[in-house]
Amino acid sequence: MKTVHHTIAQRLPCKTKNNLLVTSAFLTGALLLTGCQSTSLGQSNMAAVKQAPSVAKKTLETALQKQRRQSFSYHSNLEIGNNQQFTDADVNTSTEKMAASDYVDEHCEEAHDQAYAALILQAEQQKKDVLAVDYDTKRDSIRQSYFECVDAYHAWNDHQYDSDVKVAPDYQALFDNYEDKQRPLDRKKAQLLDEYLLKPLSIDSQGIYQPMAGKATMLASAQYQARNHHSSINQPIYMDFKNGDIYLWADNFAILNSELLDDKLGTKWQNKWLKIAIDDGTLPKGFGGEVIKSHFAALDATYDAAPVSQFNYVAPNSLASLSPKLPAHQLSAMLPSDQIIRRVQSFGDYQTSQQKYMQIFYDRISEKYPELVQEPEPMTAFESIQNPKAFTSKSIVQKNTGYDKRPNE
């Protein structure tokens, strides 16, 4: 009997100042196919080398489409980090060529002061005078760098009005769009954020998907484990697609509900499931089926548009060296697999594909049910709470399609 295990390891960057996104390629999916036919490790390694990316893309597409009607268990992990932000800066940018100030006209003086302060600190650590002969070369280098920077800045400033004025290419790159450049302090903040918040944080979900039975389960969880702090939260979810119901473990929502909606709730929701009807009768007939069809149609179109270069076969013996590192439970499941296909996307590629998906999905739904994309009458938050019609299935769909309308615009 053929089984399909789906494991996902994602690593997403966090936003930096001025809405700049710095990202490394991240592993968005690894599909594992195991069955009656087995292949030796050596054969699998050779096959991974010989197979073309176009074959990998087609093979993965076929497997994913077949998987829609197959029952399977899944376990996915989401990692959020900005390590690549300061790693790239370390490799490609010297401190002297990074932005040193908030304003371009103050860069040279600020860079000089920072360099001299660093030299003073070095001298103090070595218990010497910064004016000692040992530091003559470094002091002279700082002074010459300052004069060079000032001359380059004046040339760059004059170049704005006279294109014949020549500017050194490295300073041209530095001063252009200066406010968007990374600063040494930004690098330090990114390192601290990574060490104290993002590395101790882990988010994952696991469950079972049974499409023919119309059921799915998910246990979403988040954990934070630092030396002196351990915390976690779990949210079980059960979905009954045939009856159109979603069940949520109510404990996590009880406090919010008692604060915002029902101040007499007390402990009535403790250790209970909260049932939410996906369709309360206000949606058009057949809407649920059309949502599923539109979802898969948008997925297929988005997948077809993905560049072939994002896909490749991975040899099992190279899994342990992948970056970001695969979780142990995923690595153990992958190692005996016949085929391992990896898809690598930048964060920009991921955003583009999501926008394309939303556009296709919206177009299909709006064409089939134009009445659902008409924005409802605006209400204040208080009016929404007091008006029972604001929480019908139809009104919720209208609000979401209204907000997501034309995502590319």
Overall number of domains in the chain: 2
For residue 245, being part of any structural domain is answered with: no
Establish how many alpha carbons lie within 13 A of residue 283's alpha carbon, considering only the half-sphere containing its beta carbon. Answer: 22
For residue 64, being part of any structural domain is answered with: no
3-state secondary structure of 207: strand
For residue 150, being part of any structural domain is answered with: yes
Domain boundary among 140, 155, 181: 181
Domain boundary among 153, 181, 209: 181
- Exposed/middle/buried for 233, CB within 10 Å: 0-12, 13-18, 19+? exposed
For residue 120, being part of any structural domain is answered with: yes
Residues with pLDDT less than 50, the chain: 1-43, 48-49, 87-93, 403-409
SS3 content of the chain, % helix, strand, coil (to 5): 50, 20, 30
Distance CA 107, CA 154 (A): 12
- Over residues 323-355, the pLDDT tens digits come to 777 888 788 888 888 888 999 888 889 999 999
The pLDDT, as a whole number, for residue 348 is 87
The pLDDT, as a whole number, for residue 53 is 92
The pLDDT, as a whole number, for residue 269 is 81
Residue 407 preceded by cis peptide, ω within 30: no
The pLDDT, as a whole number, for residue 18 is 34
276, 245 in Cβ contact below 8 A? Answer: yes
- The Cβ of residue 194 has, within 10 Å, a number of other Cβ atoms equal to 18
3-state secondary structure of 350: helix
Give the pTM.
Answer: 0.61
Distance CA 279, CA 249 (A): 20
Domain boundary among 181, 198, 224: 181
Strand partners, 205: 76, 220
For residue 163, being part of any structural domain is answered with: yes
Strand partners, 9: 77
For residue 172, being part of any structural domain is answered with: yes
The pLDDT, as a whole number, for residue 289 is 86
13, 347 in Cβ contact below 8 A? Answer: yes
The pLDDT, as a whole number, for residue 406 is 45
The pLDDT, as a whole number, for residue 35 is 29
For residue 389, being part of any structural domain is answered with: yes
**DSSP states along 65-85:** HHHTTS-EEEEEEEEE--HHH
83, 195 in Cβ contact below 8 A? Answer: no
**Range of the structural domain that residue 108 is part of:** 94-181
**DSSP states along 121-154:** HHHHHTT--TTSGGGHHHHHHHHHHHHHHHHHHH
| Tokens found for residue 307 | 């560049």
The pLDDT, as a whole number, for residue 3 is 37
For residue 80, being part of any structural domain is answered with: no
- Over residues 147-196, the pLDDT tens digits come to 999 999 999 999 988 888 889 898 988 899 888 787 777 778 888 888 88
Residues 6+ apart with CB under 8 A from 275: 245, 246, 247
The pLDDT, as a whole number, for residue 232 is 92
